[in-house]
Structure 1
Amino acid sequence: MTSAVSDQDRLIPTTVAGFGRLYVKDWTPAAAGGLPPILLFHDSLGCVDLWRSFPARLAAATVRRVIAYDRLGFGRSDPHPGTLPRDFVAAEARDTVPLLLDSFGIGDFVVCGHSVGGGMAVETAARFPSRCRALVTIAAQAFVEERTLDGIREAKQGFQDPAQLARLARYQGGKARWTVDAWTESWLSPAFADWTLDAALADVRCPVLALHGDRDEYGSAEHPARIAAGRGSVRLLPDTGHVPHRDCEEEVVEAIRSFLSEP
């Protein structure tokens, strides 16, 4: 059963990393009741538009409001004034999420994040243990793995091609080069080598679903195993790469719907 969904977008002001505005879009099912909404966190090159049809389908299937936003420096949000701090994953939960919750008048909520956005979802669940009712990660990394770094090095080389950068600029505009550098230089920095989600995971109190493609080029199955250990379940998706919600959208939506329907 699905519900008709309406959407709207807006810009909200922020003082995160300097002054700027965040682009936010939400999808609300006509039959939505009092269920906690789902907050989406995009990946390192992502933005609201790159979620494509996933938020609307997720809202319809779960009968929950879904809210996605472009992080500062991404998509239709204002440019970031500098470089990402070493703690940028945790900082998103600390600095930006409270702003979003206040702006939308949200009490309890569910978090769902893709790739590094999954790490931000974990940090958010840990920071708001009494309000976060469930956590879903999609192709998230829980630590710095050589497989992840190899994939990033290959992608960095690929973005030396102006045509590839131009394709990204369709979504990131004039911020495309900054977006690539923010991703590659943050992860490849020696200062980031010992980053993990372990401390945040220890503070997660809600049920967890960790989705991961068995052909994910940016991380092995060790990542979802660590995320879900003692907290929930892992769903390995066959013949799937790093973007499961695009490769097998229907299966991902159904997995999340079923997970959120559990008592």
Structure 2
Amino acid sequence: MPSPSHHTQDLHIDSLHGRLFVRLWSPAHLSPSFDEPPIVLFHDSLGCVELWREFPSKLAAITGKTVVAYDRLGFGRSDANPRELSLGFVGDEAEQAFPTLKDHLGIGQFIAFGHSVGGGMATHCAARHREDCLALITESAQAFVEDRTLQGIREAKAGFQQDGQIDRLARYHGDKARWVLDAWTETWLSPEFADWTLEAEIDRLDCPVLAIHGDLDEFGSDLHPQQIARLTDGPSRVLLIDDCGHVPHREKPEIVLQAVAELLR
């Protein structure tokens, strides 16, 4: 938890199926404001607000924009999700939780930034709310179900069988940790999910796109950012980072921050 200051603000908002935890970061000496379009962060399959760590504050500082992150229902400090994830859960975020967040905070135009499956959710939000989305940044996003993705998930699932591993998740998700893990592994490994793709959503985009990917990403090859950038109608760029795995904003933060700042200039 960051120490309380005027640079961050925590709140809960009510959604259809439970409360969502939200945190706002603002540039130095400013209160969170949406006079300028904010950057909205979408976390990965095991992630939450806390696991963004210091990246949002650095992002706010380098861009001069308010940064918003929230825990999806079932994750972090949001309420437990009373349902199993549907096979359309990536797109559901653009139809359910994100509009609630947008309306509650009074956000008009925005920049979407999503990590891993959050990149797919950010893409759906950019397509669904295209009149308000000024730019889309995906980081380690999956555009389709690749064998490399499934192998990485199988290995991670096996790793979580070891003693103490689920306790690591519980530090951030509490008694929701098992649900969080199963929602990731069992959904992606389901045969019914095998044909999932972002192609239709990418094809609807007309905003600038920055697709960031590590060359050592264990959950997807560089085919994913290439597909995201190739299909969009707006200006696009692929940033493939050398010697980098699945979490570029933690492994190579300065490269990611500079690239986002350049896009938003």
TM tier relative to shorter chain: over 0.9
- Give the conservation status (yes or no) of the 8 Å contact 1:5–1:60: no
Give structure 1 regions of 4+ aligned residues with deviation exceeding 6 angstroms: none
Partner amino acid, structure 2, of 1:137:
T
- 2:45 is paired with a residue whose SS is coil
CA shift in 2, pair 1:5/1:61, >3 Å? farther
Match of 1:160 in 2: 161
1:21 lines up with 2:19 in the alignment: yes
Q: Aligned-pair distance for 1:250?
A: 1.4
Structure 1 unmatched ranges of 5 or more:
none
- 2:26 is paired with a residue whose SS is strand
1:191 lines up with 2:192 in the alignment: yes
Partner amino acid, structure 2, of 1:60:
A
Q: Aligned-pair distance for 1:96?
A: 0.9
| Root mean square deviation of aligned Cα | 1.3
Match of 1:46 in 2: 47
Structure 2 unmatched ranges of 5 or more:
none
- Tell me how far apart the structure 1 counterparts of residues 25 and 197 of structure 2 sit (CA, whole Å): 32
TM-score w.r.t. structure 1 length?
A: 0.94
- Give the conservation status (yes or no) of the 8 Å contact 2:145–2:194: yes
- Tell me how far apart the structure 2 counterparts of residues 80 and 106 of structure 1 sit (CA, whole Å): 25
Match of 1:182 in 2: 183
Match of 2:237 in 1: 233
Q: Aligned-pair distance for 1:33?
A: 8.0
Match of 1:7 in 2: 8
Match of 2:143 in 1: 142
Match of 1:206 in 2: 207
Match of 2:259 in 1: 255
CA shift in 2, pair 1:126/1:241, >3 Å? same
- Tell me how far apart the structure 2 counterparts of residues 154 and 185 of structure 1 sit (CA, whole Å): 13
- 2:22 is paired with a residue whose SS is strand
Q: Aligned-pair distance for 1:5?
A: 7.2
- 1:162 is paired with a residue whose SS is coil
- Tell me how far apart the structure 1 counterparts of residues 124 and 80 of structure 2 sit (CA, whole Å): 23
1:160-197 per-residue CA deviation (whole Å, 9 max, x = no partner) reads 11311111111111111110000000100011000000
Partner amino acid, structure 2, of 1:151:
G
Partner amino acid, structure 1, of 2:244:
T
- Give the conservation status (yes or no) of the 8 Å contact 1:138–1:210: yes
- Tell me how far apart the structure 2 counterparts of residues 77 and 33 of structure 1 sit (CA, whole Å): 23
Partner amino acid, structure 1, of 2:249:
H
TM-score w.r.t. structure 2 length?
A: 0.94
- Tell me how far apart the structure 2 counterparts of residues 248 and 38 of structure 1 sit (CA, whole Å): 19
Partner amino acid, structure 2, of 1:147:
R
- Tell me how far apart the structure 2 counterparts of residues 154 and 171 of structure 1 sit (CA, whole Å): 21
CA shift in 2, pair 1:204/1:5, >3 Å? farther
Partner amino acid, structure 2, of 1:82:
R
1:185-211 per-residue CA deviation (whole Å, 9 max, x = no partner) reads 010001100000001011111000000
CA shift in 2, pair 1:5/1:250, >3 Å? farther
- Give the conservation status (yes or no) of the 8 Å contact 1:5–1:59: no
Number of equivalences: 255
- Tell me how far apart the structure 1 counterparts of residues 89 and 60 of structure 2 sit (CA, whole Å): 28
